[in-house]
Structure 1
Amino acid sequence: MADDNTRRSERGTARLTTDELARAVTDELADWERTELAAFTARRPETRESYLSGSGLPVRRVYTPADLPADWSDIGLPGRYPFTRGPYPTMYRGRTWTMRQIAGFGQAEETNQRFRYLIAQGQTGLSVDFDMPTLMGLDSDDAMSLGEVGREGVAIDVLPDMEALFESINLEDISVSMTINPSAWILLAMYIAVAERRGYDLNKLSGTIQNDILKEYVAQKEWIFPVRPSMRIVRDTIVYCSQHMARYNPVNISGYHISEAGANAQQEIAFTMAITKAYVEDVVATGVDVDAFAPRLSFFFVSQADLFEEVAKFRAVRRYYAKMMREHFGARSPESMRLRFHAQTAAATLTKPQPMNNIIRTALQALSAVLGGAQSLHTNGLDEAYTIPSEQAMKIALRTQQILADETGVTSVIDPLGGSYYVENLTCELERGIDDHMRKVEELGGVEAAIEQGFFQREISDTAYDFARRKANGDRPVVGVNKYIDEGEPEKIETHQLDPASEARQIARLQQIRADRAPDRATAALEHLLAVAKDDSANLMPATIEAVKAHLSMGEITGALREVFGSYTETPVF
């Protein structure tokens, strides 16, 4: 009788090729379905006739080696093209993801206190949420801002507001993400002006400004100008940062808001890649080499409820992006092909009924982001279905990330679900889905034409309606809402309370700054900005930096530029 070593050797020499293994497994699967499976389901049928992923892809009951990619190089190794398994060779073994809890409310001083609280709790990056007037380029004393100042984020009108926002925070030591789009370049100008006044080296500043205006027309519906001048602003920020801010990401291309508007996982990554292609084409058209700016492009995705699909989604979009940058744009540097992304757990999944369940939802969604290789992460507060998170909710959300990093062991191995028959198959399905959507967009004439024709808007609307219908009829279970519902009084939790005097204080400060500034300098800065705006080949950033240094307000800048760029009204989609 052969010993164990001999038997292992014989098995090694009899190892099947990949094709042989796939055929053998396929034959065995068919036999299993005819015998064990058929007999078992005859006695105990499955609970549903069909199973679907969160984005509607069919889910088979079992996956095998036959479902793996035919080419091993599509899976590959971490830090190596096509980066399916992660952008860096060591991933979390070398550096844990940045823990970046978003914060913003009231005046700058109030948000600054929250920032310092979160830093003291171990947060490793700042993320700023701005109020609706700031997002829309309106001043706090604008008639349309009444009642909205500081309510859903921090109010920033003029440069002194930005100085107060980052008071006693060293901007060279901590990365700063700013979630803002139509007025993003003005906030970036203020951030630069603060850094210059403090004597910082701009090349040492790290972080990102969202600045993804195309997804506003697609999903979030916050814009100031028409599509073409808005694209010009994004282009100018990318070019400026590539020349002056080596570590700063001038655009954070966002699938998150596409998802929150109702898109599924497949649409989220496909539409994000279509938008990315449009931005890159716009910058390359100015003569800037793709390798000069592509390494500073960054991305922002949601981490939704379907754990395995979310992991596969992150892997699929990373691979697609790498191939697009190399094969379509001719990128040569690996840094230009590495998709780096921030993830946020899904606010749209959080519920008012049984709010403590939101802690569990957030933890599992955060896990999928980590298993998918996120570079930074925001975990939602349990009370976000009600209002801006309280300090307690933010602390629990941050501790969720810290427990994941320090107690679960998920940081010890890179891409631990790599090689999973299901996850690899789903990764390939989602990558093919991106390609299919990209072809549709190109057939429509590109992203701008597709926006004007309502393509993205209709796709998202149809998906959102289908999800709402399935949730209403119980086909999509939501614990505490349509399943396991509590009777009686709803659970009470602590919520954040906005200081009602904050709006009046902000308006008073804005008006005082206008009264105290040097009028000649403000007038000259605005005239220069308008002259630059009329020359499409000129870069808006230097003139905007001078404008904010002259204490021109957000609303004064956007209001004047409307005379040059015009305004935009969307054609409704039904």
Structure 2
Amino acid sequence: MTMDTDDKILEKSKEWEEKVLKPWISKRPERKNNFLTPSGILVKRLYTPLDQKGDYLSKLGFPGEYPYTRGIYPNMYRGRLWTIRQYAGYGSAEDTNYRFRKLLEAGQTGLSMAFDLPTQLGLDPDHKLAFTEVGVVGVSLFHWKEMDLVMSDIPIQKVTTSMTINATAIELLSMYIATAESRGISTSELDGTVQNDILKEYIARKNYIYPPEFGIRYAVDLIEYSSKNIPNWHPISISGYHIREAGADAILEVAFTLADGIEYVRKTIERGISVDDFAPKLSFFFAAYTNIFEEIAKFRAARRMWAKIMKEMFNAKKPESMMLRFHTQTGGAELTAQQPEINIIRTTLQALAAILGGTQSLHVNSYDEALGLPTEKAAKIAIRVQQVIAHESGATDTIDPIAGSYYVEWLTDEIEEHAWKILYDIERMGGMMKAIEVGYPQAQIAESSYRIQKRLEQNDLVRVGVNMYYEPDWIGTTEVFKVNPLVRDRILQRLAKYKKERDNSKVEGSLSRLRNAADKENVNIFPYILDAIKSGATVGEVSSVLRELWGEYKEPSLF
């Protein structure tokens, strides 16, 4: 755009404000003085070409090319739709297998496995601390044959499976490998993801076991082993979702997620592995909230920033190493127990934002999840939301359809600029590990959460049915799903049977070898955990060995 054109737009803008806008507003005042995004970015009344920064080629470019602002693939959804991946899991292995098969029948194209708290924290179902949580918020998996049951009648070499597992990620991936090999399937045929992002556990989710030094070693061991032995597997999903759900705004979500990514890349390179040998298999996980434009801008900013980080900070050469591939889940914290059917509208908007933002995989929350685990009906509706957007909305007909919006491009720049400042602060602290130790991200999330809650209480942010249009006598028809408590008995009986029938000397030998390996700094423990799992050891037994050696992390009091 020429200077003459800029001057003409500026002149016309001032004329419009004086002759058109002011007389109109004097008779019809605006709803409020300031319009802010949920992240607190001040939104102007109108955006024009004058709000654009930089030239087209350097800021946007073309899909499938650096800096990937417009998408990581050349034709995006005109070629292949995103993976429809509903997060599911509850009760016993049989219960979850039934739900998986129903979701696949409804058109789901990838599996996403939820685990109960004992499995996530390395406790077997018969542990005294596990009793009330067995199978409650996810499936109980403690032995590789339980994984085999979960995947019964499902061709695991033909589906992609994502596992939301962190502190016990190697154990669960080892179970998946053991299941595949028992069916004559090679690890080279497996495709999927383990979350394996322990840094965000210390920051936000809190389902860690070991102190950070050992937690990061465990995570990088998995990345290293996978890059060499499981070629199609994504060994980590660097997760901003939980950071957002803990109370972070969109800017903090981008900054902290990318800072975690930098830490994992740095630690893996320190192992002597070339960045281009593992970076193409790194994946990310973001939330999608209801403010469509801020979310779209967030995704575009994150993609552009990661490309620059990999190219300039880590000297990556392969284009695939610079591509930010991400899964998205709609915002659980934005679901309301009040008037729950309205959540279908929220999740539809959130899903649309993720798709317009260029996601590779998507989970849409079920409308009843503020009340409990999703019912089969609610989960099927969540799949239908994705299918309607895919086939009826027109959002997939062209690549990056929102690009060129003066507002979205300006907002993308704003989010990027704010996120870079936070990243630079973290780097000055010595990286995300050091920042976690001094409580920086935890404090920032707490402050953000307080700020957002205050805006809700002051009605500056609106939740329909909660702080506006609330109806105390709203009568819903929402069925609430509950896990059968008798399932626990079945699980405990099967665990006792496994332990009785296995070769205990073989198990003890494998655990002893694991103990020796974990006690040495430069030994990758993945092969030893895999051997223990194949030998019949349980998740709790493997974790107990590592707990004895590494200890358990106790978070310091920060407030």
TM-score by length of 2: 0.98
The correspondence of residues 171-570 of structure 1 with structure 2, limited to 5 A, is 171-488=156-473, 490-570=475-555
- The 8 Å contact of residues 353 and 490 in structure 1, kept in 2 or not, is answered as no
Residue 122 (structure 2) aligns with: 137
- Which has the higher Rg, Structure 1 or Structure 2? 1
> One-letter code of the match for 1:29?
S
Distance 1:392 1:271 in 2: 35
Q: Which residue of 2 aligns with 1:8?
A: none
The 3-state SS of whatever aligns with 2:286 is: strand
Report the alpha carbon displacement of residue 26 of structure 1 after superposing the two structures with TM. 2.4
Question: Residue 66 in 1 paired to residue 50 in 2?
Answer: yes
CA-to-aligned-CA distance 1:48-69 (integer Å, 9 cap, x gap): 1111111111100110011123
Instruction: Give the aligned length.
Output: 558
What secondary structure, in the 3-state scheme, does the structure 1 residue paired with 2:237 have?
A: strand
Aligned twin of 1:109: 94
Q: Following TM superposition, by how much is the alpha carbon of 1:514 offset from its aligned partner in structure 2, in angstroms? A: 1.1
Q: Does residue 21 of structure 1 match 2:5?
A: yes
Give, in whole Å, the separation in 2 of the partners of 1:258 and 1:22: 40
Letter in 1 for 2:387: Q
SS of residue matched to 2:129: helix
Root-mean-square deviation (Å): 1.1
1:52 aligns with 2:71: no
Contact 2:339 2:474 in 1 (8 A): no
Q: CA deviation at 1:308?
A: 0.3
Alpha-carbon offset, residue 471 of structure 1: 1.2
Structure 2 unmatched ranges of 5 or more: none
Q: Secondary structure at the match of 2:217?
A: helix
Letter in 2 for 1:526: L
How far 1:489 sits from its partner (Å)? 5.3
Q: CA deviation at 1:199?
A: 1.5
Q: Would you say the 8 A contact 1:68–1:419 is kept in 2?
A: no
- In structure 1, what residue type is equivalent to 2:13? L
Residue pair 1:270, 1:437 contacting (<8 A) in 2 also? yes
Whole-angstrom distance in 1 between the partners of 2:10 and 2:119: 58
- Of 29-38 and 118-127, more deviation after overlay is shown by 29-38
The alignment's TM-score, normalised by the length of structure 1, stands at 0.96
- Structure 1 residue 21: Cα displacement: 2.9
Quote the offset at 1:41 in angstroms. Answer: 1.8
Task: Indicate which of 22, 29, 43 corresponds to 1:38.
Answer: 22
**SS across alignment from 2:17:** helix
Aligned in 2, Cα 1:20/1:183: closer, same or farther, shift over 3 Å? farther
Distance 1:27 1:157 in 2: 69
Name the amino acid aligned to 2:242.
Answer: H
Distance 1:209 1:65 in 2: 43
Partner Cα separation in structure 1 for residue 554 and residue 149 of structure 2:
35
Kept after mapping to 2: 8 A contact 1:252/1:297: yes
Alpha-carbon spacing, 1:19–1:179, altered in 2? closer, same or farther (3 Å): farther
What secondary structure is seen at the aligned counterpart in 2 of 1:143? coil
Distance 2:336 2:475 in 1: 12
Amino acid corresponding to residue 475 of structure 1 in structure 2: D
1:166–1:33 CA distance, 2 compared to 1 (3 A): same
1:23 and 1:66 in contact (8 A); partners too: no
> Shift of the alpha carbon at 1:486?
1.3
Q: CA deviation at 1:386?
A: 0.6
1:541-564 per-residue CA deviation (whole Å, 9 max, x = no partner) reads: 111110001111111111111121
Deviation at residue 34 of structure 1 after TM alignment: 2.8
Q: CA deviation at 1:243?
A: 0.8
Q: Determine which of 44, 57, 74 is the counterpart of 1:89.
A: 74
Contact 1:125 1:175 survives alignment (8 Å): yes
Deviates more, 1:559-568 or 1:311-320: 559-568
Q: Secondary structure at the match of 1:144?
A: coil
Letter aligned with residue 264 of structure 2 = Y
